[in-house]
Amino acid sequence: MTRFVLGRVAQMAVTLLGASVVVFTVLRLMPGDPALVYAGPFAGSDVVEAVRDRMGLHDPLPVQYLLWLKAFVTGDLGVSSISGLPVSQLVGSALAQTALLTLTTSLLAIGVGVPLGLLAALRKGTWADRLVAGFNTVALGVPNFWLGLILVIVFAINFSILPAGGSAKLTEDPLGALTSLVLPTIALGLAPAAMLARLTRGAVIEVMHEDFMTMAAAKGMSIGFVIRRSLLRHVFLNLLPVLAILVGSLLTGAAIIESVFTLPGAGRLIIESTRQRDYAVLQTLLVIFVAVFLLVTFVADILYSVLDPRVRGHLMREGGVR
């Protein structure tokens, strides 16, 4: 197991390094000169050159990359080329905001989606099943930003019971921060909830067909007992890859919803810094995104092996094979 973990960590480090090269190169191949963003398109060449010099854009690309990498691994993420603020501060606060929204959204999606899917599967073919299917169709069909706008219009403007946008910080104004998360969480979480409900229903029905479920019934176990003992574990294992992708994609930014609700999260930061060709911010953010995805899948794999003794046994014997 340890060997497996170490192996995977090493593998992730290599992937991350490769990703950083790609990110670095692609950003620089992208049209758009950050010096011009800073100085304006009509600035004199002397001014633009001065700005380029200050941004370190005159060094050859490999040198720029190595300088950045060296600073990056020593924890110096540099400063934004536009605002001059430390990248760590910008990225940190954006990621914290997004992580919070990811947490609430995931909780909503799982808390609503899994029970609904369970209900639909256990009452397969009844009106409850059809009701859940109807909910799923609607929730998956409505674009989340539109839903967000409707929520804002109804709850923030017409009834004024919840804020339209949130910039309150959890540490400074916990209540304000949480209430401002209610609407975006609903807007963002409803479709994943429906997706999870569908997948859960399918997974439950699939697991229900397993011999061991018949066997459990033959033992005289009640349905509640079977759900707790076997069904949920299997359904969770089935859903784990999807959950990993869901959490990963939420963490890497829900830019549109963040725009609708004026949440200063990672999605908005990436759009804004792309617009401004803020290399320092973009590089850090993109590398962190890659790391997040690697980490989430890694955690999912670990969870998988913890929950599935077959995989665990395999890993123990083989020392970790992907």
Partner 1 sequence: MTTEMTEPVTATPNAAAESTRSALLSVRDLQVDLVRGESRTRLVDGVSLDLAAGETLCLVGESGSGKTLTAMSVMQLLPGGVEVTGGSVELGGRDLLRATTKELRAVRGNAIGLVSQDPMTALDPLVPVGVQVGDAIRAHDRRISKAAIRARVTELLSAVGIPNPAANARRHPHEFSGGMRQRVGIAIAMANRPRLIIADEPTTALDVTVQAQILDLLDTARRESGAAVLLITHDLGVVAERADRVLVMYAGKVVEQADVLDLFDRPAHAYTEALLRCSPGATSGAGEPIPGTSARAGALPTGCAFHPRCRIGADRPRCQQETPALLTLGTRHDSACHYPAEVTR
Partner 2 sequence: MKRHLIRLCLALAVLLLLPACGSGGGGGGTGGGSEELTIAAAEQFDGFDSTSLAGTNIQAAVMRQLYDTLVALDADRKPQPRLAESWEQSPDHRTMTLHLRPGLKFSDGSPLTAQDVVWNVTHGQDEKTAATARPLFMAISKATAVDPATVQLTFPKPLAAPFDMLDYLFIAKPQDDPQKLKNSPVGSGPFKLEKWDAGTSATLTPNPSFWDAKSVKLKRVTFKFAGDLQAAQLLFRSKQADFLFDSTWKDFASFAKQSGVQTLMAGDGGRVEMFLLNAAKPPFDNADARRAFAAALDRGAITKTVYRGQTEAWCLPWPEGSVGYEASPDLARSCSADPARSRELLTKAGHADGLRFSILTVAGIDAEVSQVAQQQLAKAGLNAKIDSVEDTVFFDRAFAGDWQVLTSTVQRVAHDSATSIQLGVPLQNGGVSNFKSDEYQRLIDSVLYENPGSDRVADMRKLNEFLLDQAFFVPVTSQNPHYVFAKDVKGLQVTLDGYLILQNVSVG
**Would you tell me which residues interact with partner 2 (CB under 8 A)?**
31-33, 36-43, 46-48, 50-51, 54, 79-80, 82-85, 89-90, 93-94, 143, 145-146, 149-150, 152-153, 156-158, 160, 163-165, 167, 256, 258-262, 264, 268-269, 271-272, 275-277
Spacing of C-alpha 163 from chain mean position: 24
Asked if 308 contacts 237 with a C-beta cutoff of 8 angstroms, the reply is: yes
Range 227-266, binding partner 1 (CB under 8 A): 229-230, 233-234, 237
Q: Pick from 50, 102, 36: which is nearest to 276 by CA?
A: 36
Using CB distances below 5 to 8 A depending on partner kind, what does residue 158 bind out of partner 1, partner 2, none? partner 2
Residue 236, classified by CB atoms within 10 Å of its CB into exposed (0-12), middle (13-18) or buried (19+), is middle
Q: Which is nearer to partner 2, 79 or 242 (CB)?
A: 79
Closest distance of CB 244 from partner 1, Å: 19
Closest distance of CB 121 from partner 1, Å: 12
Cα–Cα separations (whole angstroms), residue 9 to 4, 198, 244, 311: 9, 34, 18, 18
Residue 114 neighbours by CB under 8 Å, 6+ apart: 196, 197, 200, 235, 239
214 binds partner 1 (CB under 8 A): yes
Using CB distances below 5 to 8 A depending on partner kind, what does residue 218 bind out of partner 2, partner 1, none? partner 1
Using CB distances below 5 to 8 A depending on partner kind, what does residue 114 bind out of partner 2, partner 1, none? none
β-bridge partners, 79:
86
The footprint of partner 1 (CB under 8 A) covers 210-212, 214-222, 225, 229-230, 233-234, 237, 307-310, 313
